[in-house]
Amino acid sequence: MDVIKTEPSAAPVIHALRSIGYNPSTAVADLVDNSLDAKASVININFEYNESDGMITITDNGTGMNEEMLQTAMNIGSKDPRAKRGANELGRFGMGLKTASFSLGKRLSVLTKFEGVYHERCWDLDHVSECNEWQLFTSIPEEVKEKMGTIEENSGTIVCIDKLDRFMGYGGRRTLKETSFFNKVSRINKHLEFVFHSILEKNDVQMFINGKEIIPWDPFMRYHEHTIEGEIQILRINENRIKVQYFILPHASHLTEPEYKKAGGYKGWRDHQGFYIYRENRLLHYGDWMGLFPKDASAQLARVRIDLPNAADSDWQVDIKKSGINLPEEAKRRLEAISAIARKVSKEIFYFRTQSTKTGQTFKGSLNTWEQSGREDGPQFILNRNHPILAELFNKVDDETAKLLNLYLKFVQLGSPSNIIDSPKVPEEIIQEVSDAQKELVIQFASTLLKINVAGDEEQLLNMLITQPAFDGINRATLKKIVMEAGLLD
Ligand X SMILES: Nc1ncnc2c1ncn2[C@@H]1O[C@H](COP(=O)(O)OP(=O)(O)O)[C@@H](O)[C@H]1O
Please check whether residue 122 is in contact with residue 108, taking contact to mean a CB–CB distance below 8 angstroms.
yes
Pick between residue 79 and residue 353 the one whose CB is nearest to ligand X. 79
Helices (H) and strands (E) in the chain, counts: 17, 15
Tell me the closest approach of the beta carbon of residue 81 to ligand X, in angstroms: 8
**Interface segment toward ligand X; rule CB under 6 A; list 63-71, 307-315, 364-372, 390-398:** 63-71
Point out the residue whose Cβ comes nearest to Mg ion: 96
Phi and psi torsions of 57, nearest 5°: -125, 140
Tell me the closest approach of the beta carbon of residue 45 to ligand X, in angstroms: 12
Residue from 24, 62, 64, 91 that binds Mg ion (CB under 5 A)? 91
Q: Is residue 98 part of the contact set for ligand X (CB under 6 A)?
A: yes
Q: Is residue 96 part of the contact set for Mg ion (CB under 5 A)?
A: yes
Please check whether residue 355 is in contact with residue 344, taking contact to mean a CB–CB distance below 8 angstroms.
no
Q: Mapping DSSP to helix (H, G, I), strand (E, B) and coil, where does residue 469 land?
A: helix
Q: Is residue 264 part of the contact set for Mg ion (CB under 5 A)?
A: no
- The C-alpha angle with vertex 370 and arms to 263 and 394, in degrees rounded to 5, equals 75
The CA–CA distances, whole Å, from 368 to 250, 383, 395, 410 equal 21, 9, 19, 17
Cα of 150 vs its chain's centroid, Å: 33
* Residue of 108, 95, 125 lying closest to 15 (CA atoms): 125
Contacts of 449 by beta carbon, 8 Å cutoff, 6+ apart:
455, 461, 464
**Interface segment toward Mg ion; rule CB under 5 A; list 84-92, 124-132, 174-182, 448-456:** 84-92
**Interface segment toward Mg ion; rule CB under 5 A; list 71-79, 90-98, 430-438, 444-452:** 90-98
Q: Where are the beta strands (DSSP E) in 20-105?
A: 42-48, 55-60
**Amino acid letter, 324:** G
Tell me the closest approach of the beta carbon of residue 464 to Mg ion, in angstroms: 58
Residue from 10, 18, 57, 96 that binds ligand X (CB under 6 A)? 96
Subset of residues 347 to 406 that bind ligand X, contact rule: CB under 6 A:
none
Subset of residues 422 to 441 that bind Mg ion, contact rule: CB under 5 A:
none
Subset of residues 149 to 168 that bind ligand X, contact rule: CB under 6 A:
157
Q: Is residue 321 part of the contact set for ligand X (CB under 6 A)?
A: no
Q: Is residue 94 part of the contact set for Mg ion (CB under 5 A)?
A: no
Residue from 34, 59, 413, 478 that binds Mg ion (CB under 5 A)? 34
Pick between residue 78 and residue 384 the one whose CB is nearest to ligand X. 78
**Interface segment toward ligand X; rule CB under 6 A; list 65-73, 206-214, 353-361, 472-480:** 65-73
**Interface segment toward ligand X; rule CB under 6 A; list 2-10, 85-93, 214-222, 379-387:** 85-93
Q: Is residue 62 part of the contact set for ligand X (CB under 6 A)?
A: yes
Point out the residue whose Cβ comes nearest to ligand X: 91
Please check whether residue 89 is in contact with residue 279, taking contact to mean a CB–CB distance below 8 angstroms.
no
Q: Where are the beta strands (DSSP E) in 128-176?
A: 156-162
> Which of Mg ion, ligand X, none does residue 386 bind to, with CB < 5 to 8 Å depending on kind?
none
Please check whether residue 274 is in contact with residue 303, taking contact to mean a CB–CB distance below 8 angstroms.
yes
Pick between residue 69 and residue 237 the one whose CB is nearest to ligand X. 69
Residues that bind ligand X (rule: CB under 6 A) add up to a total of 21
> Which of Mg ion, ligand X, none does residue 380 bind to, with CB < 5 to 8 Å depending on kind?
none
Helix H or strand E segment including 192: helix 178-195
* Residue of 226, 259, 472, 221 lying closest to 375 (CA atoms): 259
Residue from 73, 221, 242, 304 that binds ligand X (CB under 6 A)? 73
**Amino acid letter, 146:** E
Phi and psi torsions of 229, nearest 5°: -105, 125
Q: Can you tell me the distance from the alpha carbon of 432 to that of 381, in angstroms, rounded to the nearest whole number?
A: 27
The CA–CA distances, whole Å, from 302 to 164, 219, 278, 295, 345 equal 39, 10, 16, 10, 8
Pick between residue 97 and residue 349 the one whose CB is nearest to ligand X. 97
Subset of residues 20 to 49 that bind ligand X, contact rule: CB under 6 A:
34-35, 38
Tell me the closest approach of the beta carbon of residue 118 to ligand X, in angstroms: 13
Residues that bind Mg ion (rule: CB under 5 A) add up to a total of 3
Residue from 13, 23, 79, 415 that binds ligand X (CB under 6 A)? 79
> Which of Mg ion, ligand X, none does residue 182 bind to, with CB < 5 to 8 Å depending on kind?
none
Residue 174, strand partner residues: none
DSSP 62-76: S----HHHHHHHHSS
Q: Can you tell me the distance from the alpha carbon of 397 to that of 116, in angstroms, rounded to the nearest whole number?
A: 72
**Interface segment toward ligand X; rule CB under 6 A; list 14-22, 61-69, 216-224, 347-355:** 61-69
Q: Quick one: CA dihedral 283, 230, 353, 343, positive or negative?
A: positive
Report the interface residues with Mg ion, using CB under 5 A: 34, 91, 96
Report the interface residues with ligand X, using CB under 6 A: 34-35, 38, 60, 62-65, 69, 73, 78-79, 91-98, 157
